[in-house]
Amino acid sequence: MTRDLTIAEVRLTPILVADPPLLNTQGVHQPYTPRLIVELVTADGVTGFGETYGDTKYLELARPLAERLTGRSVMDVNGLFGIDLGVDASRVEGQVDAGGLRGVQSADKLRLSVLSAFEVACLDAQGKALGLPVHALLGGKVRDSVEYSAYLFYKWARHPAGVACEQDDWGAALDPAGVVRQARLLKERHGFTSFKLKGGVFPPDEEVAAVRALAEAFPGHPLRLDPNGAWSVETSLKVAKELGDVLEYLEDPALGTAAMAEVSAGTAVPLATNMCVTTFGEIKEAFTRDAVQVVLCDHHYWGGLRNTRQLAAVCAAFGVGVSMHSNTHLGISLAAMTQVAATVPGLHHACDSHYPWQSEDVLTERLRFRDGRVAVLDAPGLGVELDRDELARLHRRWADDDGALRDRDDAAAMRVAEPGWRQPVMPRW
Ligand SMILES: O=C([O-])C(=O)C[C@H](O)[C@@H](O)C(=O)[O-]
Ligand SMILES: [Mg+2]
């Protein structure tokens, strides 16, 4: 049977999704985070889904791109990446990303962060049209489930008084006992067996004590600590020495390739990153200087699932490990991460995912972690369906917002509780 895979309609739906008060070195998560849901509808009525960041700078590029896609084919993914989005470099180059800690800001990275959602939607539509899962389009799965780690955060019990938000039942985690309690809950609810603590929030000694408490509570389980570059080389080496016996890896202890290379030279603890290697252009220096031993890919800003596989191949050639980074995301992104992760042979570390923190989703059926793993779906495309009522509800929340929440800004969210808060100067400790 021949199919008409021409794109007949493109739907973009910006939404705001509930997010708990999770702390990081920049501040705290807003009560609602922007995401963008992309739908590509073919002439035959097949719809492919994609998801990416929903802040204004992404929407401003996604909207004109959407207008240019009708009439093209969902098969033409190479052509999609050839489209010039006309990114205004001055809007991003050298700016601090107030809504996430994802390394260098560049015009190309912004472009890829938008295109990746359309690439995923193309692959989803291709798979649905052909009756094949996305992993088959990427060469086939090499595993039936993908392991994720429990993503632990220092956390307030609730957002500041007077702030409109959804309640969550995770409680506070502001000391070692709170972190262990949170880890137990995540294990109980999702079966995770490896744990990552988002650090850079409290002085390093307190975070070292939290990791020690985790090691006692979960002996032998892989542990990671990620202060998002908040430490000096000296502090990083001190922490590496103190926790060397229990860490699977230390993630972005110091900021930038030069500092990471110095840390790496002084410790046997492997270093992982989602901050100093976030684009293909950063690979050469980091790998030749042995600055990192694991790259945490994120298909959103690396430019999609095909680029994720290319990154994995480069990492394999250099003997560098690969795993996955995560920001606040919903089920379409988790489905895409799982499909591509299923195809990467040398995936030796559990991937990160914020998904357990998201109480809301746009899927008819939430994806589940069992024993800390997400099953690789073999249904056509990504294997997920949109809950249109929920999509509409979350879009209404976005439409009703006066603009205050449409651009994620963790430092601004922190100022609600601490009016004098400024984004810390790095290294913080
Ligand atoms: O591994 C990481 O660096 C992240 O996941 C960065 C994110 O911005 C995370 O820290 C967050 O959302 O607070
Ligand atoms: Mg990180």
pLDDT tens for each residue of 398-422: 999 999 999 999 999 999 999 999 9
Q: Which of 35, 152, 226, 228 to mutate to test the pocket of ligand 1 (most atoms within 8 A of CB)?
A: 228
Query: Which ligand does the CA of 149 lie closest to?
Result: 1
CA-252 nearest atom, ligand 1: 3
Centre of ligand 1 from the C-alpha of residue 328, in Å: 8
Residue 427 preceded by cis peptide, ω within 30? yes
Centre of ligand 1 from the C-alpha of residue 345, in Å: 25
Q: Check residue 101 and give its pLDDT.
A: 80
Q: Which residues of 391-414 are buried (b: 16+ CB within 10 A; e: fewer)?
A: beebbebbeeeeeebbbbbbbbbb
* 372 Cβ contact partners less than 8 Å away, ≥ 6 residues apart: 147, 148, 149, 150, 190, 191, 192, 193, 194, 350
DSSP 53: E
Q: Which of 327, 329, 358 to mutate to test the pocket of ligand 1 (most atoms within 8 A of CB)?
A: 327
CA-275 nearest atom, ligand 1: 3
CA-274 nearest atom, ligand 1: 3
Mean pLDDT of 47-58: 97
Q: What number of CA atoms fall less than 13 Å from residue 37's CA on the CB side?
A: 25
Copy the structure tokens of residue 259.
């500092």
Which pLDDT tens digit goes with each residue over 242-273? 999 999 999 999 999 999 999 999 999 999 99
Q: What is the CATH number of domain 7-135+387-401?
A: 3.30.390.10
Q: Check residue 99 and give its pLDDT.
A: 57
Mean pLDDT of 94-107: 73
Centre of ligand 2 from the C-alpha of residue 270, in Å: 14
Identify the residue whose C-alpha is closest to ligand 1 atom 13.
24
Centre of ligand 2 from the C-alpha of residue 323, in Å: 11
Mind telling me the catalytic residues?
198, 325
CA-196 nearest atom, ligand 1: 1
Query: Which ligand does the CA of 101 lie closest to?
Result: 1
In percent, the amount of the chain with pLDDT more than 90 equals 94
Q: Which amino acid is at 354?
A: H
Query: Which residues does a 6 A CB cutoff place in the pocket of ligand 1?
Result: 22, 24, 100-101, 198, 226, 228, 274, 325-328, 352
Cα(25)–Cα(409) distance, integer angstroms: 12
Which pLDDT tens digit goes with each residue over 154-183? 999 999 999 999 999 999 999 999 999 999
ipTM of this predicted structure: 0.98
In percent, the amount of the chain with pLDDT more than 70 equals 98
425 CB-contact burial (10 Å; exposed 0-12 / middle 13-18 / buried 19+): exposed
DSSP element (H, E) containing 182:
helix 176-190
For the chain, which residues make up each domain, given as ranges? 7-135+387-401, 140-375
Q: Is residue 221 within 8 Å of residue 152, measured between CB atoms? A: no
Query: What is the SS3 assignment for 409?
Result: coil
Q: Which of 23, 24, 255 to mutate to test the pocket of ligand 1 (most atoms within 8 A of CB)?
A: 24
Q: Is residue 292 within 8 Å of residue 264, measured between CB atoms? A: yes
Q: Check residue 48 and give its pLDDT.
A: 98
Mean pLDDT of 1-16: 92
CA-325 nearest atom, ligand 1: 1
Nearest to 293 by CA among 277, 310, 309, 305: 277
Cα(266)–Cα(398) distance, integer angstroms: 47
Identify the residue whose C-alpha is closest to ligand 1 atom 10.
24
Cα(91)–Cα(314) distance, integer angstroms: 30
3-state helix, strand, coil in the chain (%, to 5): 40, 20, 45
* Backbone region of residue 177 per phi and psi (left: phi > 0; alpha: psi in -120 to 50; beta: other values): alpha
140-375 matches 7-135+387-401 in CATH topology:
no
Average of per-residue pLDDT values in the chain: 96
Centre of ligand 2 from the C-alpha of residue 384, in Å: 27
Identify the residue whose C-alpha is closest to ligand 1 atom 8.
100
**Annotation: CATH topology of 140-375:** TIM Barrel (3.20.20)
Copy the structure tokens of residue 327.
């920001």
